[in-house]
Structure 1
């Protein structure tokens, strides 16, 4: 982490890195999916980088205009169509310039004071026309330390936003919800009505109510550009105060550690769920085999009893035949029956009749 840490923080950072390193080795041994191991490795690597704040939301929610208002300069293109087709990583630099750093990701530098302590990511809309935009966004979320989710006041908390927020929740990310474009609403009553709706929807989805701010990035930009009358009604000041208080040195350090720990927790839970599924499958197979073994044992016992009964019958038949044979020979071996012994065919017929 590019900040000065005290000895306790250094030790905690070391233990966190060691723990996550062991988890990475375990995932490799378990042959976990590459994208899971890569997400964990990336989160470990980013422990040594600046705090990463990701701005996400649907296309036309005003993400780029919000970032411009936050930075106080028109750094990013704005429009009513999906103008952000790439992910932009905003960093501090002596001049404003762009360069590609990986597929689908551009680095934008600017001499803005806020960017000295944090990096900001502008993402394509979660409902953008090009599906690869959404893929880029969802793959970048695991890298974030804090997610600012921007929703539009004219369609707050849509179904696609719910689905995307649920993915963010599964990664264990801290979420702040920003309702943009409140300038299109008629009065504060409408603003409060939307805030109440979003609070309830967030509670139902996330299990808690994150920090929620209602702003007008349009008014904020105009206020910072020279019309201070619009500053109060822009709603940006409370959000800037929240960011400043939350992302002080201790806050950034805490969230920086929570990022990889959240990723690790998600991956551990995923492996435990898979293990539970395997154990349940083994239990079903074991039950089936035990049932088959029980049926085989019953069949064997039935066969054994039937076999013993048949053997007994055969023994009785053989014994009876033996007795009849003895009687037959006793009868024909008498001297007065000797003439009959010379009649072979007669003897054979009598033997079959009397003995067999």
Structure 2
């Protein structure tokens, strides 16, 4: 059924809200009324209305949504009034006003979605349809249905034009009986409809091509007879209902507003219990204040993370400088000549050393920083501890991040910060960068080396043949080439070092960005560990209040459940 996730969260929230009110009533507390009436609006089913001409397939569309033949559908017009289908314990039809029928049906679908089937906009009841437009516009989803054979009918497009600006975001156009058209025809039809939307209302509206009869048959038939489901296009339409209607801005607002109202009422219940228990829960608020102080300390650390990570950036730049020096020594003339004969593994070795040194440097940075943060937590705890003892008459003990736990916290923090380095190293691709630069350099030097060897061979040959002067000349040429090679080796080595250093320093922003995310996670994790000390105080307080009435325990359970629901929302 569309919107399962939304309705699951909504029902959890409403159930929690109901039990909060039950606790309030049992405790003799009368909460203030909801000024926005958000809970009632949230609890009400989503309303879907189908508009369109006679035989456009409106009733069939609603039947396909419900998965049951709730609306009469036939070749001849069957809907002469606006029929409002709602959930009821028994089936009955009530004429609630002129032109409107309230049809109650014991159908589970109607607990989530109410439906309004309307007369054809080109029928004898057109005036009634036009008169009811303000009521139709109150629906969460307004479906304007076109038969695939005639998507340009003026009577239906007039309905689109009548929609107010407030209602347009809740309007979707449906091309019914889409199985009678080819894919190419539907593409052309949708393009034409988009153009008409822009002309009629100045904006594009969602358009869905469906074969509602195929979808309905698939839903009501056995599993083996559902062949038409994929051809019906209904899964995409129902996904649209789930994502765009159930998760609309209005529904999200009602969820958030009801959640806020539940939290407010829960606070009112807590205030009432405070009075009944002669202020015992004041200690809970006191602890909440301490938790807020810890949260503020955490936020201060996070706000200063940019300045703090300057140290990590400095270490990165220092390691780039060290890499450049090491690379310069490795690319010296003699080492280069040696590698020309025996192979060059410089990129892999340099990358491995750079990665190891950078990991070590960042670990050192993280360990120094976490030690600083732990000292700040310890200082804060040294202030908190006597206040707890003075206010609550109990000793909360040492901080949750001190003593034996300190080393584990340091290691966890360091590992979390180090994850950012691993990711950045993969992005920097130091080895690939060096491979390209070193390979180009080695190619030029290898050519010169070959010339030197050929010259030496020629000089030796000339000397053996007794051509002494030629041999000395060729030997001189070899020497000149060798000097030229040495000069090129020195210059190109400086170029490789310079390019590598520049490219790595240009990546310092990427390094710092990755570090900031992992550093922030590590800080939050540390303060979560630190806050466990206050959780322990709450536990001690609960132990001290062994005679606390069940209502207080129930309040705690509702509080935790509401927090869980808020996180899910």
TM-score scaled by structure 1? 0.56
Match of 2:228 in 1: 230
Match of 1:248 in 2: 246
Structure 1 residues 124 and 46, CA gap change in structure 2 (3 angstroms): farther
Conserved in 1, the CA contact under 8 Å of 2:82 and 2:117? yes
Match of 2:75 in 1: 80
Conserved in 2, the CA contact under 8 Å of 1:87 and 1:121? yes
Match of 2:237 in 1: 239
Match of 1:123 in 2: 118
> Following superposition of structure 1 onto structure 2, how do residues 133-172 of structure 1 map, counting pairs within 5 Å?
133-170=128-165, 172=167
- 1:233 and 1:167 map into 2 onto residues whose CA distance is 32
Structure 1 residues 106 and 188, CA gap change in structure 2 (3 angstroms): same
Match of 1:206 in 2: 201
**Secondary structure of the structure 2 residue equivalent to 1:179:** strand
Q: CA deviation at 1:15?
A: 6.2
Q: Deviations over 1:198-230 (max 9, x none)?
A: 122112222222211000111111111222000
Structure 1 residues 70 and 126, CA gap change in structure 2 (3 angstroms): same
Q: Which runs of 5+ in 2 are unaligned?
A: 1-9, 18-31, 256-569
Match of 1:89 in 2: 84
What is the aligned-residue RMSD (CA, Å)?
3.1
Match of 2:420 in 1: none
Q: Larger C-alpha radius of gyration, 1 or 2?
A: 1
Q: Choose the corresponding residue for 1:67, options 40, 62, 65.
A: 62
- 1:126 and 1:111 map into 2 onto residues whose CA distance is 29
Residues 173-182 or 124-133, more deviating: 124-133
- 2:248 and 2:190 map into 1 onto residues whose CA distance is 29
Conserved in 1, the CA contact under 8 Å of 2:83 and 2:118? yes
Q: CA deviation at 1:87?
A: 0.7
- 1:53 and 1:220 map into 2 onto residues whose CA distance is 18
Conserved in 1, the CA contact under 8 Å of 2:119 and 2:126? no
Q: Choose the corresponding residue for 2:180, options 184, 191, 198.
A: 184
Conserved in 2, the CA contact under 8 Å of 1:89 and 1:121? yes
**Secondary structure of the structure 2 residue equivalent to 1:143:** coil
- 2:188 and 2:155 map into 1 onto residues whose CA distance is 21
Structure 1 residues 253 and 58, CA gap change in structure 2 (3 angstroms): same
Q: CA deviation at 1:191?
A: 1.6
- 2:132 and 2:210 map into 1 onto residues whose CA distance is 23
Match of 1:282 in 2: none
**Structure (1/2) with the larger helix percentage:** 2
- 1:255 and 1:151 map into 2 onto residues whose CA distance is 32
Q: Which runs of 5+ in 1 are unaligned?
A: 18-44, 258-356
Match of 1:99 in 2: 94
Conserved in 2, the CA contact under 8 Å of 1:145 and 1:256? no
> Following superposition of structure 1 onto structure 2, how do residues 1-356 of structure 1 map, counting pairs within 5 Å?
4=13, 14=35, 49-170=44-165, 172-173=167-168, 174-185=170-181, 187-226=182-221, 227-248=225-246, 251=249, 253-254=251-252
Match of 1:40 in 2: none
Structure 1 residues 256 and 181, CA gap change in structure 2 (3 angstroms): farther
Q: CA deviation at 1:151?
A: 0.8
- 2:73 and 2:35 map into 1 onto residues whose CA distance is 42
Conserved in 1, the CA contact under 8 Å of 2:49 and 2:142? yes
Structure 1 residues 224 and 145, CA gap change in structure 2 (3 angstroms): closer
Conserved in 1, the CA contact under 8 Å of 2:45 and 2:110? no
Structure 1 residues 250 and 198, CA gap change in structure 2 (3 angstroms): closer
Q: CA deviation at 1:88?
A: 0.9
Conserved in 2, the CA contact under 8 Å of 1:95 and 1:109? yes
Conserved in 1, the CA contact under 8 Å of 2:55 and 2:77? yes
- 1:229 and 1:75 map into 2 onto residues whose CA distance is 23
Match of 1:37 in 2: none
Conserved in 1, the CA contact under 8 Å of 2:121 and 2:156? yes
Conserved in 2, the CA contact under 8 Å of 1:51 and 1:256? no
- 1:189 and 1:243 map into 2 onto residues whose CA distance is 25
- 1:193 and 1:176 map into 2 onto residues whose CA distance is 18
Number of paired residues?
224
TM-score scaled by structure 2? 0.36
- 1:175 and 1:72 map into 2 onto residues whose CA distance is 22
